[in-house]
Structure formats: C-alpha cells, structure tokens
Amino acid sequence: MGERIIFDEAFRARLHELFIWRRDVRRFRRDALPAGALDRLIETACLGPSVGLSQPWRFVTVDDPLRRAAVIEAFRAANAEALAAYSGERAERYARLKLAGLAEAPGHLALFTDRSTEVGHGLGRRSMPETAEYSAVAAITIMWLAARAEGIGMGWVSILDPARVAAILEVPADWRFIGYFCLGYPESEEDRPELERAGWAERRGAREFILRR
C-alpha cells in the first residue's frame, strides 16, 4: 500500500496505560454486557495473527444455564484437587483466594483450536503444530485488550479439566481446549494483579527474564 499509518506519542502513552490496567478479573458486577458486545469482541479477536493464516480459533459462547452450572461445578472439582496439593499456610492462603468469577460474570466464553483445519494449507505448522494453540492465545489477548478499552473485564479460568469442559459444551472431538473466559464489568479497576494484592506472589523485573546470546 505504501500508506503511512502513524500512531503518535499520546496514543502510545495511552496504550501503555491499557497494558498496565488490563487485569485478570475475578470480581464482576452482574450488569449484562451490551447487546452484541461479545460477538463484536470475537470479531476483533479474529484480527489477531494466526500461523499460516489458518485461523484455528474456535469460540464457544455459553449461555445455557445448565451448561454454565456444569462448568462452575467442573471448576469447583478442579479447584478442590488443586487445593489438596498444597499444605499448611500455603493451603490456607489458597483457600482464601477468589480464582474465578464464573457465578457473577454475565459473559461466558470458551476457546478451542481445531488443528485439523485445512485453512492455510498447513503452512508454518509442520515442525511446530502447537502454533495453532498459540494463534488462539494471541487472538484472545487482543480481545482482552479491546474489552478492557471498553471497560469490560475478562478473567481466564484454567483450573478446569479440558476433557470435562469439552464434554459439557459438546464440541467436536478433536478440538483442543485453550481456556474458559468470564466477561463483565469489574467491581473495581486495578493496576496490580489480584494475586499480587493478595500477597500470593509478586511480579519480577523484566531483567530477570532476559538471556543474551
């Protein structure tokens, strides 16, 4: 195209604030999302990168109250198992954490990938088929930011047995479960992760994660 698209300093500063104020939300108000918001956000997610243009992401919106209740039960079971793996004070602290907002969040979304897709003719996936999953994660990250910019919070629930979620949602047998997401308006806005505020763990400086070669 040759067109020059410039994102100016003011936009970049605001974008940085968006990154800082994006949170994994577990405390939602019960207000409904605006009509069509979830579909619109999924459309934005689809602007994300995908390996070989395969677009392997599969979004499952979950509205059926029985399925939602089954997912909540699946979370409770997986969380009880996780708790049992801790002991002493760490177990007590784990038990006090609020790790999902499934009961309150007005929006429920599950994300899967379909590795068997022919779209993209397999390009880029031969030596690393897991890039299908990575594509879906990039897409949901973009959705997360777009949602936050609208004041909608998102929480990623990973304390689940993937096979159980797939069964509850009756998705094709070869789809892979990536994550389950709660969406809604957060009770409060925060610039620090809930686990940090709760004293569970702290963020480290980027320097600790860089190796030079």
By CB under 8 A, what part of segment 115-144 binds its own copies?
Answer: 119-128, 130-131, 133-134, 137-138, 140-142, 144
**Closest distance of CB 88 from its own copies, Å:** 12
Q: CA–CA separation, 157 vs 179, rounded Å? A: 6
- Decide: 161 and 48 in contact? Cβ < 8 Å: no
Residue 103 or 158: which CB sits closer to its own copies? Answer: 158
Residue 104 or 120: which CB sits closer to its own copies? Answer: 120
Q: CA–CA separation, 45 vs 142, rounded Å? A: 6
Figure out which of the listed residues 37, 72, 115, 190 binds its own copies, where binding follows CB under 8 A.
190
Figure out which of the listed residues 33, 34, 149, 166 binds its own copies, where binding follows CB under 8 A.
149
Task: Tell me how far apart the 2 most distant CA atoms of the chain are, in Å.
Answer: 62
Site string for its own copies, 151-180 (x = CB under 8 A): x----x-xxxxx------xxx------xx-
Which residues inside 59-98 make contact with its own copies, applying CB under 8 A? 59-64, 67, 78, 81-82, 85-86, 90, 94, 97
Question: Which H or E run includes 177?
Answer: strand 176-184
**Closest distance of CB 195 from its own copies, Å:** 4
Q: CA–CA separation, 53 vs 61, rounded Å? A: 23
Residue 68 or 104: which CB sits closer to its own copies? Answer: 68
Q: What's the gap between Cα 205 and its chain centre?
A: 23
| 25: CB partners within 8 A, 6+ apart | 101, 153, 154, 155, 182, 184, 186
**Closest distance of CB 16 from its own copies, Å:** 7
**Closest distance of CB 36 from its own copies, Å:** 12
Which residues inside 27-66 make contact with its own copies, applying CB under 8 A? 39, 42-49, 51-55, 57-64
| 47: CB partners within 8 A, 6+ apart | 142
Total number of residues that touch its own copies (CB under 8 A)? 108
Neighbours of 52 (CB within 10 A): 18
